[in-house]
């Protein structure tokens, strides 16, 4: 791989993914260890989750990590991976919103955070796509 300079945006996106994924893993560990205080709605929500939900979440985390690494490596496949991550996140969000008490567990602030996160992921995808079109990603 030739020595190419990474745009500042790539560094920012990769730092965002690193912080976000690390925070998610830490929160999940605290949740599973019982170190978090949950409202009744949150307890009810987590009781509805099954192995498929956790497998889907783990898959999304792994794909997000892979997408960030590929973007850092300036690889064009990062765009496809990030697209899959966005589609999985939107699908999971819609499913949980419609089929569970997810909105009660999150509250309005949490739902706004989800919307912001999905929007940011869409912006990151457009940024990666733009880098690919400009020939920065190979």
Q: pLDDT (tens digit, 9 = 90+) per residue, 125-135?
A: 999 999 999 99
Query: Tokens standing for 108?
Result: 């309005």
Residue-wise pLDDT tens digits, 82-125: 999 999 999 999 999 999 999 999 999 999 999 999 999 999 99
Domain that holds residue 114: 8-133
Whether residue 21 is contained in a domain is answered as yes
**15-69 pLDDT per residue, tens:** 999 999 999 999 999 988 999 999 999 999 999 999 999 999 999 999 999 999 9
Distance CA 109, CA 134 (A): 37
Q: Give domain status of residue 35, yes or no.
A: yes
Rounded (5°) CA angle 52-37-92? 25
Residue 18, pLDDT score: 97
2 occurs within a structural domain: no
Count of structural domains within the chain: 1
Interior/surface letters 101-122, b for 16+ CB within 10 angstroms, e for the rest:
ebbebbeeeeeeebeeeeeebe
Q: Please, what is the average pLDDT of the chain?
A: 95
3 lies in some domain: no
Residue 50 lies in a domain: yes
Is residue 80, in this structure, part of any structural domain at all? yes
Residue 1 falls within a domain, yes or no? no
């Amino acid at each position: 791989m030739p020595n190419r300079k990474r745009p500042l945006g790539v560094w920012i996106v990769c730092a965002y993914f690193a912080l976000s994924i690390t925070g998610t893993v830490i929160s999940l560990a605290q949740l599973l260890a019982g170190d978090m205080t949950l409202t009744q709605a949150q307890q009810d929500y987590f009781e509805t989750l099954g192995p498929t939900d956790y497998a889907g979440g783990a898959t999304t985390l792994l794909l997000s990590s892979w997408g960030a690494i590929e973007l850092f490596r300036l690889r064009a496949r990062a765009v496809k991976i990030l697209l899959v991550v966005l589609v999985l996140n939107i699908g999971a969000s819609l499913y949980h919103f419609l089929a569970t008490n997810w909105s009660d567990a999150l509250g309005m602030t949490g739902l706004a955070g989800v919307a912001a996160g999905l929007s940011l992921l869409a912006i990151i995808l457009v940024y990666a796509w733009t880098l690919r079109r400009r020939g920065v990603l190979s």
